[in-house]
Amino acid sequence: MIHRLIKPFPLDELKKAANARSIYIWGAGNQGRGIAKVLTREGIDITGFIERSPELIGSNVMGLDVLSSDSIRNKESGCIFVIIASYFYEAEISEKCRAEGLEEGVSFVHYSRLKPRDYSIDISGACNLKCISCPRAERSSIERSAGLMSFSTFQSVIEKIKREDPFVGNIQLYQWGEPTLNPSLPKMIAYARSQGINSAISSNLNLVKVDYRAIVEAKPERFRISASAWGKKYEIAHTGGKWEQFIGNVELLAKLRNELYPEMKIELYFHVYKHSLGEGVEQFRRLCKEYNIEFKPVFAYLISLDDVLRYQEGIPLPPAAQSAKDSMLMDLEEGLRKAKEERRLACDAIRSVHINWDTSVSNCMMYYFPQENVAVPDYLDQPIEDITKKRLSCDLCKRCIKQGLHRYCGVYSTEPTDIEELINSNV
């Protein structure tokens, strides 16, 4: 099994380092902000964030300056301490730290050693769209239950997370469902914040009767919105969505953010298909610049991994998944090849505890259908250590790693140079 045994980094050691050095958090996204939240709660002063994104460098996050990686260059390792807070780029950033003379465990540490587990809570088991790359696109006759998590259940989940993992400072309130369908969303965000935990949400922004003002007033730390093309082409991949509704809600969300909670990060996650390219890319860039939204293009890919695993095992893709495959800019075969080249590397998803709306826990958040993918029926009934043991020993995990699919999502999410070149050559 390719799972890292993470050795915790004691909080007392971090406090000792903080007394004598400047503390930097490398990564100003959801993970970085969550770590900052906990450090502040523990009375540890943070000097600033480090980022590689040009859009973020020079900005201010949580009252702290966002600096470039050059800010630690030529600094003596005994003067600084870096916490790497990046999900997919941990290994790359580690190498950069070493290149600057920093020593792992002495002058830099991965956030996973402070917080071995991340949490996602799917507060909605339903969605209003059937995007072609998503398993909701009528790919299977298998039924998956749909419902909404109650506010009281959410409170119980948060209380258990805090009890078992006190260093958790951020959670995501989505995975397969549309969180704005849950009318308790603002209360959930506000409650988590009252417990010292930041919330991240993701939405297709295609609903009409949603109180976006109440959501922003509750202060989610990150609001991700997804798109795949400009104008009517948007509706090809975001099946069932309406362009006019989407773009109107983007503008509304940005205005509410500026009015109610300027610190909220809005990220436009741009799924790039063959039909995404052209002048629409530049229009999205202008829109994001005008409304201070982070533009993040990523290769579109098939998710969940249910169909992809079966495809690797010789079962043809269902029609909706084949349609998505035909539209992908980075072909599925290429993605699978790159993933297999990384098969000896660790699985990042294993540290993510995915709690469904009915409190069942998935073996893996990257798989959608419940067959082989329910670790325990009720998160609230079992200790997290027992849940983790069951997840590590499941057959689905073994099949996935055998095919190298534990690296698949990272392959499509960490190709910034290639995708920028392809986009720019088609604009």
Q: What is the pLDDT of residue 128?
A: 94
Q: What is the pLDDT of residue 426?
A: 59
Q: What is the pLDDT of residue 422?
A: 63
Answer whether residue 5 is part of any domain.
no
Model confidence, pTM: 0.87
Residue 180 sits in the same domain as residue 263? yes
Q: What is the pLDDT of residue 339?
A: 94
Answer whether residue 205 is part of any domain.
yes
Query: Residue 178 sits in a domain of what CATH number?
Result: 3.20.20.70
Residue 154 sits in the same domain as residue 170? yes
Select from 53, 86, 114 the last residue of a domain: 114
Residue 272 sits in the same domain as residue 200? yes
Q: What is the pLDDT of residue 76?
A: 67
Count structural domains, the chain.
2
Residue 212 sits in the same domain as residue 101? no
φ/ψ of 352, rounded to 5, equals -95, 115
Buried b (16+ CB within 10 A) or exposed e, 308-334: bbbbbeeeebbebbbbbbebbbbebee
Residue 221 sits in the same domain as residue 145? yes
Q: What is the pLDDT of residue 19?
A: 77
Q: Which two tokens stand for residue 375?
A: 């670790």
Select from 114, 137, 160 the last residue of a domain: 114
Residue 39's domain comprises 11-114
Residue 154 sits in the same domain as residue 90? no
Give dist(CA 76, CA 97) in Å, integer.
12
Residue 188 sits in the same domain as residue 286? yes
Residue 294 sits in the same domain as residue 190? yes
CB 251 within 8 A of CB 205: no
State the amino acid at position 100 in one-letter form: E
Rounded mean pLDDT for each run of 10 residues along the chain, 427 residues in total = 60 78 89 88 90 83 89 75 85 88 88 88 95 81 81 98 91 96 98 95 95 98 95 94 97 98 94 90 93 91 93 91 92 94 87 96 94 95 95 92 92 67 61
Select from 92, 114, 136 the last residue of a domain: 114
The shares of helix, strand and coil residues in the chain, as percent rounded to the nearest 5, are 45, 15, 40
Query: Residue 75 sits in a domain of what CATH number?
Result: 3.40.50.720
Residue 323 sits in the same domain as residue 185? yes
Answer whether residue 3 is part of any domain.
no
Residue 105 sits in the same domain as residue 122? no
